[in-house]
Structure 1
Amino acid sequence: MHVLDPSDPAFARDPYPYYARLRAQGPATRVALANGSYAWLVTGYEHTRAVLADPRFSNVPPQAAGRPKPDSPAQRARACLARHMLNSDAPDHTRLRRLASAAFAPRRVNALGPRIEKLADGLVTELAMRLERDGRPVDLVDAFAFPLPVLVIGEVLGVPEDDRDDLRKWTYCVGSPANALPASAVDEAWTRLHAYFTGLIGQKRREPGKDLFSALVHDTAEGGLDDGELLAMAFLLLFAGYETTMNLLASATLLLLTHPGELAAARRDPGRWQAVVEEALRHASPLEATTWRRTTQEVDLGGGTVIPAGASVLGVLAAANRDPAHFPKPDAFRPDRYLPSADGTRAAPHTAFGHGPHFCVGSRLARLEAVVALPLLFDALPGLRLAGDPTDFPYRPGLLVRGPRRLPVRLP
């Protein structure tokens, strides 16, 4: 049996041929992982959506999941921060999601449009000055794709701007696959995150503002959140609030710079930008897979595939979005598929934000940031070019999030 190593740079750069082979084998395939465990990977569009909506696939991690870890401050911090709503089922999940959803209601998200535009314009102006002044390549991830969603989610949640670099470093460590980084670095990151959010929540208790953290700290409806749930919610909303959008902005920029015809079409017709964003979400899913599921009983997926009770299961969103049964020429970047056709039909909805009860609560915000920021970037820098061979650009390792780690760009 082939061993899947999510930290392998070659796999991280292009996992799609591997997923296509798994998809051809049936609804789900049992795979050996580099950490010594086994998991069932679901790679087809229909079966992935079915699994994500099926209560027989629990989001609650088993107590003995993964390698045994000795008790330590880092392990206790990790266990506390892992109590978020992605690791829960109803009714706990329903309660936690209700408390978080208010901040991402359509009216509130749409009202952020002018602020997003102002923040993006400032970053683009600074990027242009650096490119023109220094004449050297600039990493678009560090200069644009990362700071924009961090600034936006920081304002929504009430996280000080000065803390963003440390938070990025820590969340990168804890989101990386096993063996990708030294254990000491990962342990330190979990401990630092726990201490940071403990301090932030204490501050919101003393000096509440109009941000979401303040609201969550002081919300007593349905019992509110206990201290552990507050810490976990803080970690989840910050991590999810920038990781997905950062990867979307970076991947969409890379796709447009390697498909100049599509970029030119979008610049001629601003009405195409929404389709560009949807196709970038499908083609380069910023969430490679869901969080882990566990079967609470034996599940027959059909086609002779039976997953036993207690099995670890992963719905691979990036693979589902390349399923040729639902997306013709799935490996091609074709924004036209998300434009209305003459007969009124459109492409199947992608799974980039998941499906079912755990559908991403911040999906509207991520889309809005991309639709606002990408036209600003390319209008301000029409001569933007890649500084290097895109096949050499490193990608984020792991099975959870996907996007370029660095994206060097230059001007002619």
Structure 2
Amino acid sequence: MPDLLNPADPGFARDPYPYYARLRARGPAARVQLANGTHAWLVTGYEQARAVLADARFSNVPPAAAGRPKPDSPAQRARGCLARHMLNSDAPDHVRLRRLTTAAFTPRRVDALRPRIERLADGLVAELSGRLEREGTADLVDAFAFPLPVLVIGEVLGVPEADRADLREWTYRVGSPADALAQGAVDEAWTRLHAYFTTLIGNKRRAPGDDLFSALVHDASEGGLDDGELLAMAFLLLFAGYETTMNLLASASLLLLTHAGEAAAALRGGDAYWDAVTEETLRHASPLEGTTWRRTTERVDLGGGTVIPAEDSVLVVLAAANRDPGHFPSPDDFRPARYLTGAGRPAPHLAFGHGPHFCLGSRLARLEAAVALPRLFGALPGMGLAADPAGLPYRPGLLVRGPRRLPVR
């Protein structure tokens, strides 16, 4: 067990699971030292993760001095503004903020997006096929896993397609440990994001469209969101709307490319097997590695001799909970069949969280995977990896996880 946890370490990013398994063996939660000089409790057991996520004693409101101390600056003020989103709030503010966005993600509205998602996926598969014929190789993340969800959420939210590359770069930076990037890169990204969403919201006020951002701007004039909350909501919905689905599609593709038997079974098995592939990917390669940070509002006894003092930082590690051998037999194996009807009821995975902060976009993410994966592998059955999977770079950090590049031929 290393003395400290460095989320920016490429080796840890590529395979954090042995570390989490050793941590879980120490108890339901363990206090670890982070590379930024702070300490935190990491919750890695399945039952304890569910309990913490549903327990109001674990507040989502960050402490005033969380993380490494930083001087006041325009970037820090921008970060503070954009961090006022609903994942960093408790009831009653969380209930109010969530209510304003729930209508955009009802089953009826999400399911109505299927024809558009099908057209987008077909177009991207055709472009990828053409690129492979012309160039021999392509990056599946850049060519497929990223553009599909960003185009979909862009349409839902009202974000221009031309802005997607810049937004991807900025959100990548703010979701990564600063130590993994060039000096100043994270601060620049927070400043750029704040300026971008300020401009976008101004445009929606002047010329609203049929999209969620326009609706939220309209609601703000009726007391729904103040200007700071509006900026934070715009950032959260964009970041959460594509980042997790991009990692789901990339991780599922990598798993199928390295498990040829499962890819063949999915192509034979139809919709039910593809749904099982999606659920097993969500469990086995959780696109959200951890939740947002929480803090204890009082002393909490988690059982097993683990007592967390008041005002301590806590991170629920979804990726670790989803590989708890007490709830998932052979947790490190990729076995989609465990999610097939009649295969026995596996424990519900925690890839979308649990409790009041359960992911609003879970249905949309599942729909995109259900549409995209069979089209991709059905159209390109001979597609294979063009790099050693053991050397693929992964997204650093403790928030989101997935391969940064996925070369295929």
CA distance, structure 2, for counterparts of residue 124 and residue 220 of structure 1:
39
Q: Is the 8 A contact 2:178 2:186 kept in 1?
A: no
C-alpha RMSD of the superposition: 1.0
Q: Is the 8 A contact 1:394 1:405 kept in 2?
A: yes
Partner of 2:199: 199
Q: How does 1:4-403 map to 2 (within 5 A)?
A: 4-135=5-136, 137-220=137-220, 223-270=223-270, 271-341=272-342, 345-403=344-402
CA distance, structure 2, for counterparts of residue 183 and residue 326 of structure 1:
42
CA distance, structure 2, for counterparts of residue 295 and residue 138 of structure 1:
46
CA distance, structure 1, for counterparts of residue 240 and residue 112 of structure 2:
20
CA shift digits 1:337-356 (9 cap, x unpaired) = 101126xx321110000000
Q: What is the SS of the residue equivalent to 1:219? A: helix
Offset of residue 222 of structure 1: 7.2
CA distance, structure 1, for counterparts of residue 3 and residue 71 of structure 2:
30
Offset of residue 221 of structure 1: 8.6
Offset of residue 183 of structure 1: 3.3
Q: What is the SS of the residue equivalent to 2:251? A: helix
> Match for 2:203: what amino acid?
Q
> Match for 1:160: what amino acid?
P
Offset of residue 388 of structure 1: 1.2
> Match for 1:217: what amino acid?
V
CA shift digits 1:228-257 (9 cap, x unpaired) = 000000000000000000000000000001
Offset of residue 219 of structure 1: 1.1
Q: Is the 8 A contact 1:73 1:191 kept in 2?
A: yes
> Match for 1:74: what amino acid?
A
Q: Under a length normalisation based on structure 2, what TM-score does the superposition of the two structures give?
A: 0.98
Q: Under a length normalisation based on structure 1, what TM-score does the superposition of the two structures give?
A: 0.98
CA distance, structure 2, for counterparts of residue 40 and residue 96 of structure 1:
28
Q: Is the 8 A contact 2:220 2:226 kept in 1?
A: no
Decide whether aligned partners of structure 1 residues 221 and 348 sit closer, same or farther in structure 2, where only a CA change above 3 A counts. farther
Q: Is the 8 A contact 1:35 1:178 kept in 2?
A: no
CA distance, structure 2, for counterparts of residue 183 and residue 170 of structure 1:
14
CA distance, structure 1, for counterparts of residue 265 and residue 110 of structure 2:
28
Q: Is the 8 A contact 2:28 2:48 kept in 1?
A: yes
Q: What is the SS of the residue equivalent to 2:178? A: coil
CA shift digits 1:316-365 (9 cap, x unpaired) = 000000000000000000011101126xx321110000000001110000
Q: Is the 8 A contact 1:150 1:241 kept in 2?
A: yes
Offset of residue 198 of structure 1: 0.2
> Match for 2:133: what amino acid?
E
CA distance, structure 2, for counterparts of residue 371 and residue 2 of structure 1:
42
CA distance, structure 2, for counterparts of residue 253 and residue 152 of structure 1:
19
CA distance, structure 2, for counterparts of residue 35 and residue 225 of structure 1:
34
CA distance, structure 2, for counterparts of residue 320 and residue 269 of structure 1:
28
Structure 2: where are the runs of 5+ without partners? none
Q: Is the 8 A contact 1:393 1:404 kept in 2?
A: yes
Offset of residue 68 of structure 1: 1.9
Q: What is the SS of the residue equivalent to 1:294? A: strand
Offset of residue 223 of structure 1: 2.0
CA distance, structure 2, for counterparts of residue 222 and residue 209 of structure 1:
18
CA shift digits 1:371-401 (9 cap, x unpaired) = 1000000111110000011000000000000
Q: What is the SS of the residue equivalent to 1:93? A: helix
Q: What is the SS of the residue equivalent to 2:42? A: strand
CA distance, structure 2, for counterparts of residue 168 and residue 316 of structure 1:
24
Moved >3 Å (runs of 4+): none
CA distance, structure 2, for counterparts of residue 162 and residue 128 of structure 1:
23
> Match for 1:359: what amino acid?
F
CA distance, structure 2, for counterparts of residue 300 and residue 178 of structure 1:
33
Offset of residue 277 of structure 1: 0.3
> Match for 2:144: what amino acid?
F
Q: What is the SS of the residue equivalent to 2:352? A: coil
CA distance, structure 2, for counterparts of residue 365 and residue 409 of structure 1:
26
CA shift digits 1:58-92 (9 cap, x unpaired) = 00001111122111111110100000000000000
Deviates further, 354-363 or 219-228: 219-228
CA shift digits 1:254-308 (9 cap, x unpaired) = 0001111111011011121101100000000000000000000000001110000
